Amino acid sequence: MGGAAAAAAVLVVLWLAVAAAGAGAGERPSEVSIGALYTYDSVIGRAAGLAIELAVGDVNADRTVLAGTTLSLISQDTNCSGFLGTIEALQLMEKNVVAVIGPQSSGIGHVISHVVNELHVPLLSFAATDPTLSASEYPYFLRSTMSDYFQMHAVASIVDYYQWKEVTAIFVDDDYGRGAVAALSDALALSRARISYKAAIPPNSNAATINDVLFRANMMESRVFVVHVNPDAGMRIFSIANKLRMMDSGYVWIVTDWLAAVMDSSMSGDLKTMSYMQGLIVLRQHFPDSETKREFISKWNNVARNRSIASGLNSYGFYAYDSVWIVARAIDQLLDNGEEINFSADPRLHDSMNSTLRLSALKLFDSGEQLLQQLLLTNFTGLTGQLQFDSDRNLVRPAYDILNIGGSVPHLIGYWSNYSGLSVAAPEILYEKQPNTSTSAQRLKNVVWPGHSASKPKGWVFPNNGQPLRVGVPNKPSFKELVSRDTGPDNVTGYCIEIFNAAIKLLPYPVPCQFIVIGDGLKNPNYDDIINMVAANSLDAAVGDFAIVRNRTKIAEFSQPYIESGLVIVVPVKEASSSAWAFLKPFTLEMWCVTGVLFIFVGIVVWILEHRTNEEFRGSPRRQMITIFWFSFSTMFFAHRQNTVSALGRFVLIIWLFVVLIINSSYTASLTSILTVQQLATGITGLDSLLSSALPIGYQAGKFTRNYLIEELNVPESHLVPLNTIDEYADALNRGPKDGGVAAIVDEMPYIEIFLSYHCNFRIVGQEFTKEGWGFAFQRDSPLAADMSTAILQLSESGQLQRIHDEWFSRSSCSSDDSEMGATRLGLGSFWGLFLMCALICVFALVMFFARVCWQYSKYSGSEEPDEPKDDSAGTAEIAAEAVAEMQRRRPKRLGSFKELMQFVDKKEEEVRKSMKRRPSEKDNQGVGSSDAQSVA
């Protein structure tokens, strides 16, 4: 018993030791401190401060999280100051906090992130939205709200949805503002839009400074303003803009989520500036509705009412509340993994002599790296929705509500999410479907714009800064109908200038223009150089006979074409010399031969079909040959005397007369053309013959034609001759290749129309081999190009565009019909289908005819001709006997020789029919005689 008791005592001691060791290993700290950095007296701070307190209380009341450990909160006021905020943040680091909720400011976030990187204290910000606070530079910085990277993509989607191309960015000039504007610029570039002007407002600016910034912004061309400033100072912008009449119709204001926070935080009736914020489009972070969210709102409002907090709850309060829970769950998981909360001194931080900074008080959090990893593994549903970090440490599923202020309250007009873009359906509904970011799927509800307008603003006006539009105009020595210098007020005139002025007058805003003449008037300026001046901002626009071609559209923006154009070939012509054999030219030799053979063939076919039934096609062989030839060729003039009586003959003749009609008409038209046409002097009939001839080619100097011939058609540069004036055109063509001239000129149709109106001994050959038009050139992505295109279409629909064309191109021009250019002889290829049809019908008629003849011949030759009757003096018995013997001896004859068949064919149809009718009766008579003979015998 004693031994057993001793053994039991030893076991108890061992069990207690193991239990004590286990209790020591799993012991949790009684309290863990976290910090909070925000500005107490601010729109965001008033909502976030109370939310953080409520979250800490809820965590401590929940026994499933940090069981046995109390979460302690230490808050520091950053006082809306970068310097003071940084000092407060350093003081917070001295108090051994394991994580910090905040800061509220992006600027302070940049500074403090360097500190927490060294101390290994995770920084979880609920309001620092600057996209440049990246994980690569600040690994211990986490953003528990949505980055402005996504918000600026939402703004860009709205801009693209309404097809605006330029915006003015109004932003606070600090890290928060500059980072967001950089993200906006990148987002707009994806849809070929841009920030045309950046209106930076210095922090803590007074009303005079803001007024000056807005005034300069209003002088610019863009009327789409994107406002991204701090909530506490941003409201002054709209009151000042209202005084500057920038809240009237025609303006567009897109405001980021700071304004939604201000509106949510303002109690009913407190927002006095709502009257001059009508028509604004406002973004607000989107949270899915839930019972937990509604309970929190009720709880927050009750506590705020009891504390007399004169501010409402905004979206940043929700993010602050969720941030506490993210940290609490991560700490709980850290402790569950057996990690301890310990701090150690950093040997790199020590106090210098005579220094009172106490840098040694800043401790290194030993488990900071492990806590950071637990934070990155966060995955639960909070008040703001799914709380989970992606690979870039951003919250998943970013989304925004899009509001429109109309009346006393904002109205929801749609949503934006990174999943499906713009939509009128809530993002949580779209998450259950396949993503669809196509243009047709992007939708928003109707918007009330500033000035209570229901129509979408253009988003652009001519800049109101007193500078006229610098318009470059080419000065050419010829083709004055298009563009020329003038002594009038515009100093230029011409067809292109009149269209430009007419389109400018249709714009809904005034556009003063200053025409700048380019060129000395002695030779053509290079048109590509003028377009390059527009691209280089030396000119605002280029007006004249500028073709819209590929290389120019890469550097400039062109309007809708106001005239169609294309390259054509002009050659000299000469009068055709007639000859004694000109009447043979309409048809080729093959055509004449086949036509003659077909005439004879049809004559033979008709003769065969008519020979047995028609006396006019019978007679001696000589007469029949004459009939065949006469009938054949007399049908050419519809003068044949012979009538056709057979059905097949008439059918063939009808078809043949139709063929003859076509041949006669074609011959007549071709002969008329040949006898009156002008012949080409060089033999060039089109582009192919021009390129294969290797002869000199003229082109208008300065135009795109030269590059097109070299680069696209591979014409050697040595074969090209630059020309400047109409007289040079005529002289070069008249001299020809042999005398130092050109064989042809390649130029655009409008120029050729003017040239031919002065010189009638030249003609266009072939077809236009390019299709382009003339338009007005503007700087890249200039909204004026789209407005001018609309004006040109309006001119076209009203008929004014055509009237202007007729006024400037009223000079009578020479005929340039291609049908007069070297008439083409008609060949067999144009008629082979007709001839084939006629031949097949003739063959078909012959087959039917001979089938019928063979059938008749088989009936006709079924038995021989009956014998002559015997003498009546012979005895009846003898006659009967001979008849029986004859019948036994006789057999049906088979088809005779070809000669006999031809003799049968030559028989008249009437004779054949009579013979075939007589045969059955004779056979019947013979049968009766035989029967009588047998009976007598």
Q: pLDDT tens-digit profile of 433-455?
A: 998 888 888 999 999 999 888 89
Other beta carbons within 10 angstroms of residue 773's beta carbon come to 17
Look at 578 and 635; give whichever has higher pLDDT: 635
The mean predicted confidence, pLDDT, of the chain is: 82
pLDDT level of residue 18 (50, 70, 90 thresholds):
very low
Q: Tell me, what's the pLDDT at 380?
A: 95
> What's the pLDDT score for residue 135?
85
State yes or no: pLDDT of 823 exceeds 50: yes
Checking DSSP bridges between strand 123-125 and strand 567-575, what pairing results, if any? unpaired
β-pair type (744-748, 697-700): parallel
pLDDT at 441 (0 to 100): 87
pLDDT of residue 324: 97
Residue 882 in this model has a pLDDT that exceeds 90: no
**Taking 80 as the threshold, does the pLDDT of residue 622 lie above it?**
no
pTM, two decimal places: 0.67
The per-residue pLDDT for 409 is 82
Closest CA to 857 of 898, 920, 905: 905
Higher pLDDT, 508 or 807: 807
Question: What pLDDT does 650 receive?
Answer: 77
d(CA 830, CA 847): 28
The answer, yes or no, to whether residue 869 has pLDDT greater than 90, is no
Q: Which of 343-352, 611-620, 698-707 has the lowest mean pLDDT?
A: 611-620
Alpha-carbon distance of 932 to 839, in angstroms, equals: 59
Non-local CB neighbours of 727 within 8 Å, separated by 6+ positions: 478
253 contacts 279 by C-beta, under 8 angstroms:
yes
pLDDT of residue 927 exceeding 60: no
CB 702 within 8 A of CB 526: yes
Are the C-beta atoms of 470 and 540 separated by less than 8 Å? yes
For the chain, the residue count is 937
Q: What is the pLDDT of residue 935?
A: 46
Tell me whether strands 697-700 and 720-723 are parallel, antiparallel or unpaired.
parallel
pLDDT at 659: 82
Alpha carbon 762 to its chain centroid, in Å, reads 42
Taking the CA atoms of residue 418, residue 419, residue 424 and residue 425 in that order, the dihedral angle to the nearest 10 degrees is -130
In the predicted structure, residue 880 carries a pLDDT above the cut 60: no
Q: How far apart are CA 423 and CA 282, in angstroms?
A: 15
Average pLDDT over residues 100-119: 91
SS3 letters across 256-325: CHHHHHHHHHCCCCCCHHHHHCCCCEEEEECCCCCHHHHHHHHHHHHHHHHCCCCCCCCHHHHHHHHHHH
* Most confident of the following: 218-232, 637-651, 653-667: 218-232
Task: For residue 718, give every residue at least 6 positions away whose Cβ sits within 8 Å of its Cβ, in sequence order, or none.
Answer: none
Share of the chain above pLDDT 90, in %: 47
Mean pLDDT of 748-758: 90
Calculate mean pLDDT across residues 417-438: 92
Name residue 34's beta-bridge partners.
Answer: 73
CB neighbours (10 Å) of residue 787? 23
pLDDT tens digits along 173-225: 999 999 999 999 999 999 889 999 999 999 989 999 999 999 999 988 899 99
User: What pLDDT is stored for residue 11 in this prediction?
Assistant: 36
Instruction: Answer whether 243's CB lies under 8 Å from 155's CB.
Output: no
Strand residues in 194-258 grouped as ranges (E): 194-201, 224-228, 252-255
131-147 confidence digits (pLDDT tens): 999 888 899 999 999 99
pLDDT per position as a tens digit, 512-529: 899 999 988 888 999 999
Q: What is the mean pLDDT of residues 364-372?
A: 94
CA atoms within 13 A on the CB side of 768: 14
- Alpha-carbon span 145 to 310, nearest angstrom: 24
Cis-peptide, bond into residue 572, ω within 30° of zero: no
pLDDT of residue 854 exceeding 80, the answer is no
N-terminal to C-terminal alpha carbon distance within the chain: 165
Pairing of strands 363-365, 343-345: antiparallel
Top-confidence residue, 924 or 122: 122
The confidence score (pLDDT) of residue 877 equals: 52
Is the C-alpha dihedral spanning 424, 148, 301, 322 positive or negative?
A: positive
Instruction: Assign 509 to helix, strand or coil.
Output: coil
Q: Which of 413, 408, 410, 404 is nearest to 448 (CA)?
A: 404
